[in-house]
């Protein structure tokens, strides 16, 4: 390996997390970098080089600075469930509005990520409790919600309602997917309606807000749960921080819109460390599945 | 008119705002204030009155007419307390089996420090959730700008109507052009791509009816008032649970 290759690998320009651009192309490009995939990686926060094995064993948390690396939808599910059986995997979308460049973008991301869109759903067991699960993927346009994401999440709630199961939702999204216009906005209403039915059936829904949870997704199913869990340090808000700064023309205070800030303001039930997430979910599921008057 | 011309028209100065619609269509309107939690958000006005002799609850996003009233109403950009007030009034209407009319005209929910601190996301999410399962007839009419989640918060209704030069969109064309193409000059192109005009929305089934504006004449308000009254009359015959089921189906189709 020569120095130029190393430079390419280690000194990449950081991308703004909320742009919704495909990080998959910047995070791992083994061909270009000539470092075998997954041998070592650079922490996006402190810049230190970490062995990938070490990073994985530490739940994707940088052992040097404690930064939480974003997890793919499947990695999150693997980390938080005992077992998982995927559902609705054939659900796939198209360029509904003939939005310029969108069809190509979808095709490109499908090839790169191996996912049809930005959400993975299924039936899972967490701490021995059966539940329906959905998990959103940052690699797919930062988990933005278009028809496919909305449809899969709606189906997950409908499946849970039919089968009398709780729902655990791992939320990660920059918001609505603007390339799908009004259809994308309608996903907020559609998913909300499914949440309402599930709730009226007396079933538990826990949303787990991860970095980032903003825009249309935060203004719908993310905040419609019985219990709102947030991962430490996650950015959570309606408008993204850049938009707010541009609107009010002032710098935002340190920690603004972070999970800890939201908890202090009364909008988050509990903040969890990533390594204890599964255990906390299991405990909450268990207490809700135990009849109080039995 | 092309899409961008309609976008400009939907924001045009002098266009009637929610207060004008209420003045022209609602008899004996009594405004009710406050969310009973934090404050009274003047960006959303609400209250009770009669439409063609029948009691209704009316909730409107008000942009204001002149500069002073625009500032007072925060240019129709509501804070969380605005959505919480709306939900409170909707539930009051539900209790007394009164239909709810929402008049939607906003560039979007306000984004700022206070709005975030007081849970803008949670407020809108709750408004959608509560409105979609409200056990009383609901109708939303988009009378200018239907800006994203801020508009949807008052549009999870039995039907959504739109006046012919209004828009309803997931993002402003300006925002779309700058985020997607990093070029604020492409606003006209973004306006086309987003399919945000009344006709586009009708084709996409995001709205049930396009209302002709007739230059916002008295005849326009009279006609709209009669249509709203007739619509509510029809909805009242439907049992509450069926109403909620039909509303579910309306949004499920997307």
Domain boundaries, chain A: 12-69, 73-289
Cα separation, A152 vs A140, in Å, equals 15
* Nearest CA distance, B27 vs chain A (angstrom): 32
pLDDT in tens, B146-200: 999 999 999 999 999 999 999 999 999 999 998 888 888 899 999 999 999 999 9
Could you say which of A184, A221, A239 has the minimum Cβ distance to residue B170?
A184
Q: Does B126 touch chain A (CB under 8 A)?
A: yes
The torsion angles phi and psi of B238, rounded to 5 degrees, stand at -90, 130
Q: Does A198 touch chain B (CB under 8 A)?
A: no
* Nearest CA distance, A51 vs chain B (angstrom): 35
Q: Contact A181/B148, CB-based, under 8 Å? A: no
Q: Does B254 touch chain A (CB under 8 A)?
A: yes
Neighbours of B1 (CB within 10 A): 11
According to the model, what pLDDT value does residue A94 have?
87
Q: Contact A224/B117, CB-based, under 8 Å? A: no
Q: For residue B71, what are its two tokens?
A: 């500032």
Cα separation, B250 vs B248, in Å, equals 5
pLDDT less than 50: residues of chain B: none
DSSP A146-172: -HHHHHHHHHHHHHHHHHT--EEEEEE
According to the model, what pLDDT value does residue A37 have?
63
Contact B254, A183 (CB under 8 A): yes
DSSP bridge partners of B244: none
Question: Taking Cα atoms as reference points, which of B117, B61, B64, B130 lies closest to residue A196?
Answer: B130
According to the model, what pLDDT value does residue A12 have?
52
* Nearest CA distance, B113 vs chain A (angstrom): 8
pLDDT less than 50: residues of chain A: 14, 17, 19-33
What Rg, from alpha-carbon coordinates, does chain B have? 17
Give the A window 106-135 contacts with B, CB below 8 Å.
none
Q: Where does A73-289 sit in CATH, by number?
A: 3.90.226.10
Domain boundaries, chain B: 3-252
Q: In chain A, what residues touch B200 (CB-CB under 8 Å)? A: 182
The torsion angles phi and psi of A192, rounded to 5 degrees, stand at -60, -40
Q: Contact B121/A238, CB-based, under 8 Å? A: yes
Q: Contact A238/B204, CB-based, under 8 Å? A: no
Q: B3-252 sits in which CATH class?
A: alpha beta
Q: At what angle do helices B3-10 and B173-180 cross, to 10 degrees?
A: 130
Contact A126, A168 (CB under 8 A): yes
Burial of B173 (0-12, 13-18, 19+ CB in 10 A): buried
Q: Does A208 touch chain B (CB under 8 A)?
A: no
Contact A201, A228 (CB under 8 A): no
Q: For residue A22, what are its two tokens?
A: 């495909």
Contact A80, A144 (CB under 8 A): no
Give A221's DSSP letter. G
Q: Is B61 helix (H, G, I), strand (E, B) or coil?
A: strand
Distances (CA, A) of B15 to A67, B63, B173, B251: 51, 10, 20, 30
Q: Is B27 helix (H, G, I), strand (E, B) or coil?
A: strand
Cα separation, A49 vs A40, in Å, equals 7
Nearest CA in chain B to A257: B116
According to the model, what pLDDT value does residue A33 have?
47
Contact A59, A29 (CB under 8 A): no
pLDDT in tens, A46-89: 999 999 999 989 999 999 999 999 999 999 999 999 999 999 99
Q: In chain B, what residues touch A252 (CB-CB under 8 Å)? A: 113
ipTM confidence score:
0.95
Q: Does A224 touch chain B (CB under 8 A)?
A: yes
Predicted model pTM: 0.91
pLDDT in tens, A106-138: 999 999 999 999 999 999 999 999 999 999 999
According to the model, what pLDDT value does residue A246 have?
85
Q: Is B30 helix (H, G, I), strand (E, B) or coil?
A: strand
């Amino acid at each position: 390996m020569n120095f130029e290759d190393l430079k390419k690998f280690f000194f990449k320009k950081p991308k703004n997390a909320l742009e919704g651009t495909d990080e998959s192309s910047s995070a791992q490009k083994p061909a270009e970098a000539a470092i075998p995939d997954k041998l070592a990686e650079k922490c996006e926060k402190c810049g230190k080089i970490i062995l990938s094995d070490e990073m994985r064993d530490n739940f994707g948390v940088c052992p040097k600075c404690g930064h939480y690396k974003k997890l793919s939808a499947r990695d999150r599910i693997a980390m938080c469930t005992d077992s998982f059986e995927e559902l609705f995997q054939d659900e796939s979308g198209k360029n509904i509005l003939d939005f310029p460049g969108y069809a190509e973008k979808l095709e490109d991301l499908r090839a790169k990520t191996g996912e049809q869109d930005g959400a993975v759903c299924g039936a899972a067991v967490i701490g021995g409790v059966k539940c329906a699960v959905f998990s959103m993927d940052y690699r797919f346009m930062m988990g933005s919600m278009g028809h496919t994401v909305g449809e899969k999440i709606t189906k997950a709630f409908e499946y849970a309602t039919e089968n009398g199961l709780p729902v655990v939702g791992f939320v990660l999204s920059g918001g609505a997917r603007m390339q799908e216009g009004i259809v994308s906005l309608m996903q907020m209403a559609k998913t909300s309606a499914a949440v309402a039915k599930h709730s009226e059936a007396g079933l538990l829904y826990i949303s787990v807000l991860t970095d980032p949870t903003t825009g249309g997704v935060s203004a719908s199913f993310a905040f419609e749960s019985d219990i709102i869990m947030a991962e430490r340090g996650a950015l959570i808000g309606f408008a993204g921080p850049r938009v707010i700064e541009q609107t009010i023309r002032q710098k935002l205070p340190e920690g603004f819109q972070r999970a800890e800030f939201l908890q202090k303001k009364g909008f988050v039930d509990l903040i969890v460390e990533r390594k204890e997430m599964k255990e906390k979910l299991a405990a909450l599921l268990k207490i809700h599945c135990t009849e109080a008057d039995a | 008119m092309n899409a961008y011309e309609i976008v400009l028209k939907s924001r045009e100065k002098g266009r009637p705002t929610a207060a004008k619609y209420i003045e022209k269509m609602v008899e004996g309107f009594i405004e009710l204030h406050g969310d009973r939690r934090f404050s009274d958000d003047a960006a959303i006005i609400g209250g009770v009155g009669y439409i063609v002799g029948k009691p209704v609850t009316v909730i409107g996003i008000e942009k204001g007419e002149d500069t002073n009233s625009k500032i007072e109403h925060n240019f129709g950009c509501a804070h969380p307390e605005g959505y919480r007030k709306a939900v409170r009034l909707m539930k009051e209407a539900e209790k007394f089996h009164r239909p709810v009319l929402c008049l939607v005209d906003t560039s979007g929910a306000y984004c700022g420090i206070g709005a975030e601190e007081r849970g803008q996301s949670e407020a809108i999410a709750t408004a959608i959730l509560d409105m979609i399962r409200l056990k009383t007839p609901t109708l939303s009419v988009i009378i200018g700008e239907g800006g994203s989640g801020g508009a949807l918060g008052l549009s999870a209704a039995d039907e959504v109507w739109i006046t012919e030069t209004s828009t309803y969109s997931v993002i402003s064309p300006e925002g779309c052009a700058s985020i997607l193409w990093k070029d604020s000059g492409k606003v006209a192109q973004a306006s086309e791509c987003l399919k945000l005009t009344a006709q586009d929305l009708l084709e996409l089934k995001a709205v049930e009816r396009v209302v002709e504006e007739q230059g916002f004449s008295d005849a326009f308000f009279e006609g709209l008032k009669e249509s709203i009254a007739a619509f509510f009359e029809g909805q009242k015959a439907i049992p509450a649970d069926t109403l909620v089921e039909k509303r579910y189906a309306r949004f499920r189709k997307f």
